[in-house]
Structure 1
Amino acid sequence: MDGGAQWEESIILDCCDTPLQPETTARETPASVRRGGGPGGYARCRASIRSQGHSRSRWVQISWLEDLCARLSSVTCSVFCSQSAGSAAMESVLSKPRFHLDLWLSFTVQNWILDVGRPVVTLVFPADWFPLNRPGAAEYLHLLYNITTPLILLKMLERSPRTLPRHVVHLGIIAVIMGTSLHLAADSIIRRLLLIGYELHLSVRENPVMKNLEPSSLIDSFELLFYFDDTLGHLMWYVPLFLVLFLFFSGGFSHRKHQEKMPAAAWMLLIPSAAYYWYLITEGQTFILFIFTFFAMTATVMHQRRRGMVPDGNGLFVLYGFSAALCLVAVWVACLWNDSVLRKKYPGLIYVPQPRAVFTLHLGQKTPA
């Protein structure tokens, strides 16, 4: 090895603090120089070079190595700074809450058209337009609702910071599909019972249509039908629904310094959303499930406030909607508190009459669920 190679090896060893074998110096020099780069690498190289006291004949080579170390140091510092700036920008974007207008708009529109709209469609279209042994307009809307509801619930879980294990999500979606399917089958039969004089504000055994039914044991079959409709089907339908809403709400919190208000579009959707929650509570007979979910939301808000967290736009939208729905239910119950016929239909401490029963009792019309 000549004097120039020995000199370059000495300079590289001083910069990198890494021993090199003489026979591999020429091959590994670029990698060694790269390992010696970074913040402070240029200062170490310069101090090492000048401490050696090299002759003026080698000054061109010394200047070349100084320039190389300076370039490596500047590139490394720029990379570190860009990574830090990118991380800070990404953190600020992720921490900024966002109101999911498309999700809430889809949820509200499909509920009003495909769920609340079924009794309206039945009143608008005459019964003779559709054969009784075939699905009607209300059944087709119910079929569409059975398809769109699980998809929207899955989309809510995708956007929620908090979620459930995958197998629990699958079981919940299956329960929703089974519950809505049970309700579809039972509701179709009840709609045809209404056409022959069935009165929804009376119990099954007190209905005039059932009193003349032979054999009388068939009444048990119709009671089972209403159990599938009003109890089992609604539980399988609404328990996963309220659970998803609560998970979505519990994940909708941000730090107090990032506190935001509901946008104007959210305030416009608040009234129809609260009205639909009222419909779920009264028509679906889910007051107990609703009130427990509302209490859980209130407890979550109190717990998060102690940690310096407040609801974001999505959390406020759900919380205000539930609060307004509770007020609507209170007004609804107060108006029908002294109705003796409905009191007999809905005995017990929790008295929440169904709108369809009130409609058939006081307006004298026959309409399905």
Structure 2
Amino acid sequence: MTLQRPTDILHYPPTLDDRPISTRGSVSCPWRRGPMNAVDEGSAVPADLAPPRLVCPGRRLCRLRCRPRRLLGHRAYGLLMKVLIVGAGALGSLVGALLDPAHDVRLLGRGEHIRTIASEGLRVEGLTRSHIHPPVAEIPEAITSPPDLMVFTVKAYDTKAAARATIDLCGHNTLVLTLQNGLGNVEILQETFGREHVLAGVTSMGAHRTAPGRIVHAGAGRTIIGRPVGAPDGAVKRLARILNGSFPVEIGGDMRGEIHLKALANAAINPLTAIHRVRNGEILRHPDLMRRMDAVIEESLAVYSAAGIGFPVPDPRSFVYGVVRGTAENRSSMLQDVERGHRTEIDQINGAIAVMGRKHGIPTPENDSLVEAIHLIENSVVQ
């Protein structure tokens, strides 16, 4: 079949659910051929389906010079999802910016950052660079239709309130994915939206805000998604393939272990960066901080062992060190919170591990001291 005019794309092909999605950061525009849109083995559009002779309809439809946006043609390739980012902080803004070229993304947040995005757009610097103008909302009531995907990136202490506020936006086929720090988020989302809607996720992508409406993509990291319990199903696999068109996503078979592994890394890294006001990589340059990090790791591993929680890696300590190296230039979310005078997630990270330790009779002096230190900082600076 030879496509002669752009409207033919609307009906061809009907679905690509089972076709591979590119792991590159952008998706080839089906309207134009050329160096930036050449079809190859890694393209999201299979070579045998690529329209050979089409003229781009121009910026009025393409919006971003042939980068896939709200293009009619991309819906035919199964790539255009309606995505709602719940919690447009640094990480939420980054996820939204990475998804924006190929999907219909809306940011839900509050404060000066979201208002600046509404008026001036979102600028991303660092590992990726972009300037986008996604629709934003400060209240859920401003959103009139259910999204295909809700991505929760709110602070862990706000999960319950955010879930209750957005419950009416969850449609019959909506998936709810958490990429949050801390423990307990999955359980809250399942209780609110229902188990069938909720996917667990972890990411070590790093981002920090430099000014309202501006973020730095500071760390590439890994992103893993799956069902909270049990083997990945078709919905997980399809979503992973689609998300892989925007950033690398892996499918996890043990999301409980993945979530606790990330909590271990956060517990060992984030409080130290917040207390000493340093980037992640500085921990490895100071022997005292390394010894403190090792002590937190060993104590937390003893708690996890007593609780019968395993990890999907053979050496969790090496994993934590790998996270530090991979996000060396990143300013942890806890450091950013302290610098801005905001509440931190210390109770949902180190505090949750300490609670688990008490439940199983394991002393947690290292985690307890970090919780106390961060609380002292919060009490002096939180606005």
Q: TM-score range by the shorter chain?
A: under 0.3
Point out the structure with the larger strand share.
Answer: 2
In the superposition, the TM-score normalised over structure 2's length comes to: 0.21
Larger CA Rg, structure 1 vs 2:
1
Bigger relative CO (Cα 8 Å, ≥ 6 apart): 1
TM-score (norm 1): 0.22
